[in-house]
Structure 1
Amino acid sequence: MSNSINLQKLAELVGGKLAAGSAERLITGLNSITDAVEGEVTFLGNVRYLPALKTTRATAALVPDDQDISEAPPDLALIRVKNPTLAFSSVIRFFGPPSVAFVPGVHETAVVANDVLFDPQRVSIGPNAVIESGVVIGAGCAIHAGAFIGRGVKLGTDCVIHANAVIKDRCVLGNRVVLHSGSVIGSDGFGYELVKGRHQKIDQVGIVQIDDDVEIGSCTTIDRARFGRTWIGEGSKIDNLVQIGHNCVIGKHCIIVSQTGISGSTRLGNYVTMGGQVGVAGHLEIGDQVMFLAKSGVTKNVLQPGAYTGYPARPLMEGRKMLSLPARIPELIERVRELEKKLAALEGGATKE
């Protein structure tokens, strides 16, 4: 048993209150609400899992301080917190593997241009990383194995560039930016003109600017601007497998989920949320605090805050109604057939008379 903690200290760890259970009872691990067993702690992060809480085998659960948990098992210890999902992060850190220590220095196989500006005592550069001329690297940055940093790139402090991520020429990253493996920042925008039957490439000479505290998932691509900048605002979080086109502007603290595609020159406000597989046409304006549910298709400007769904995306209730209509087609076809039969019978009777 590597770690254990009693319920009272666990409640203190997560900033909660022990509402049921013995303060000295030991917790030795953590797990999901459905998989937890005796000695483990779990959490109720969504009311949809309330039925699962009734049958969980966990010893303890973090639950919302305003949620009725009267039907929980009698031997389940309850720790009430304001936000169980967030509080459970402290539990993960307590029981989880230790963080990998930051080890400054440049690996002997890394290729670093002579004029790169950085402090080797305050930066970590891993095996086979390539850092080209004119790059500036802030203190506390970790550049992992095989990463590529193109000419003239600027990294702020405490950035993490994971293995095989790519930042192409002249792009600018703020502080505490995280790029996961396989992401590509600053590939050419997708711009062509049809000339005499052939697609002629249009030069893409702008940059990508990524502001402080942005995290970008694996295999996400953000295209450089044709001119000017493609801009990702402070605190935004972008999932794996997202495509952001040239000259897009993503506002502050946005959430963009996997397989979303945003076409060029579209501008998002602040606190915009896009579910998985949302598709956004180009040159659109999306207002602050707009939420698109998964698989929405955005074809026109959406400026009013609120939730939208469907293709084309409509306000939530209207969109759900439109999405439900195709399921009624077989029923409607059958009704039309019955009406046609009745009409034919009436017309036949009228002809005989």
Structure 2
Amino acid sequence: MEFTVQQIAEVLGGSIEGDTTGRISQLAKIEEAQAGALSFLANLKYEPHLYTTGATAVIVSLDFTPRQPVSAALIRVEDPYLGFSKLLEFYQQTTRTGRRGVEQPSYLSEGAQVGEGGYRGAFSYVGEGCVLGRNVLIFPHAYIGDRTRIGDDTIVYAGAKLYPDTVVGQRCVIHAGAVLGADGFGFAPQPDGSYQAIPQIGNVVLEDDVSIGANATIDCATLGSTLIKQGSKIDNLVQLAHNVEIGRHTVIASQTGIAGSAKVGDYCVLAGQVGMAGHVSLANKTTVTAQSGVGKTVRQEGQILQGSTAFDFKQNQRAQIVFRRLPELEERLRAVEAAVSAAEKP
């Protein structure tokens, strides 16, 4: 796939200094780029590479002033990093949505509705009563359970499984191996010590622009819905239990586990291997650092939590300093005790 410098500038809403007719066929880091490549300069420590790069064009900021001659065309935008990210997204969408039509063998229920411009890969399954919007891409071996609804421009990658009654919004991405709608972990203890399964009859709902990573698992609700709100991004290998609610534009990194009925606010960040107990809540804009455990509700917005059980970041840092000094403090305490004991002897 090839574009001119002019076409790329139009996509980004930028202006050009240099040759507008150069042909771009790939994206590359500025220090590695060759002819036909597009790169960007967001961090000025990489500026020396601008004067030696083989790139055909480089995205720079509006106020950047070169200190030496530049052979590459410059595409000026307000934020080079954001501009390059938009271009990556444009490229990704262009290449992904190139797939159209139906591969065989695949299964489509007679009662399903499928919008225009979509793709269904070989061995994919779309069940009874499903509604697929326009330009929905279903890759091979994906399973779309009965009565599932998927919004326009959503992608379901190979091997993903959407249990019956799942609802997916527009422009969502569900990566390979993800499972949406498996039974929540609900079991009632019995007098004899055994456990009786509690039927899980709810569903999973993803609002628009949600991304679900590879092999992530999101359980259906016991009643109602497990809900992932608009724009949130769930990494690979994340587990969200029944009736969990994730707010808007929240990001959750790999190996995080959130127990049943917990609620995470808007614009939160949960780093890798965070554990969150059931029935607790996180206020908006909370950050939880890696390997931290959240065992109680956090009501104050904007906090950074660390530790297990997690508590205020600065308090935790002070506690860690004391913790590292415990052997020294123990020796000093023993010395004080010995001195006191010696002073008390007649």
TM-score (norm 1): 0.79
Q: 1:83 aligns to what?
A: 79
SS at match of 2:95: coil
SS at match of 1:181: coil
**Structure 1 residues 205-244: aligned runs within 5 Å:** 205-244=201-240
Change in Cα spacing, 1:343 to 1:301, as seen in structure 2 (3 Å) is closer
Cα deviations by residue, 1:240-285 (Å, 9 ceiling, x for unpaired) = 1111110011122222222221111011222222222222111112
Q: 1:313 aligns with which of 310, 314, 325?
A: 310
Shift of 1:298: 1.6
**Structure 1 residues 163-202: aligned runs within 5 Å:** 163-195=158-190, 196-202=192-198
Answer yes or no: is 1:134 the counterpart of 2:129.
yes
SS at match of 2:114: coil
- 1:102–1:124 CA contact under 8 A, matched in 2: no
- 2:284–2:302 CA contact under 8 A, matched in 1: no
- For 1:34 and 1:321, locate their aligned partners in 2 and report how far apart those are by CA, in whole Å: 41
Instruction: State the one-letter code of the partner of 2:331.
Output: R
TM-score (norm 2): 0.81
Change in Cα spacing, 1:79 to 1:117, as seen in structure 2 (3 Å) is closer
- For 1:194 and 1:149, locate their aligned partners in 2 and report how far apart those are by CA, in whole Å: 33
Instruction: State the one-letter code of the partner of 2:165.
Output: R
Change in Cα spacing, 1:63 to 1:315, as seen in structure 2 (3 Å) is farther
Change in Cα spacing, 1:194 to 1:94, as seen in structure 2 (3 Å) is closer
- 2:41–2:80 CA contact under 8 A, matched in 1: yes
Shift of 1:336: 3.9
Change in Cα spacing, 1:304 to 1:218, as seen in structure 2 (3 Å) is same
**Stretch moving more, 184-193 or 335-344:** 335-344
Q: 2:102 aligns with which of 94, 102, 106?
A: 106
Q: 1:337 aligns with which of 315, 320, 331?
A: 331
Q: 2:120 aligns with which of 122, 125, 130?
A: 125
Change in Cα spacing, 1:180 to 1:15, as seen in structure 2 (3 Å) is same
Instruction: State the one-letter code of the partner of 2:318.
Output: K
Shift of 1:158: 2.2
- 1:3–1:95 CA contact under 8 A, matched in 2: no
- For 1:155 and 1:16, locate their aligned partners in 2 and report how far apart those are by CA, in whole Å: 34
**Stretch moving more, 136-145 or 34-43:** 34-43
- For 1:201 and 1:96, locate their aligned partners in 2 and report how far apart those are by CA, in whole Å: 43
Name stretches of at least 5 consecutive residues in structure 1 with no aligned partner: none
Q: 1:148 aligns to what?
A: 143
- For 1:258 and 1:174, locate their aligned partners in 2 and report how far apart those are by CA, in whole Å: 23
Shift of 1:229: 0.8
Identity of aligned residues (%): 34
- For 1:64 and 1:314, locate their aligned partners in 2 and report how far apart those are by CA, in whole Å: 40
Name stretches of at least 5 consecutive residues in structure 2 with no aligned partner: none
Change in Cα spacing, 1:262 to 1:82, as seen in structure 2 (3 Å) is farther
Change in Cα spacing, 1:349 to 1:299, as seen in structure 2 (3 Å) is closer
Instruction: State the one-letter code of the partner of 2:245.
Output: V
Q: 1:284 aligns with which of 280, 295, 302?
A: 280
- 1:107–1:126 CA contact under 8 A, matched in 2: yes
- For 2:269 and 2:343, locate their aligned partners in 1 and report how far apart those are by CA, in whole Å: 61
Q: CA RMSD in A?
A: 3.6
Shift of 1:159: 1.9
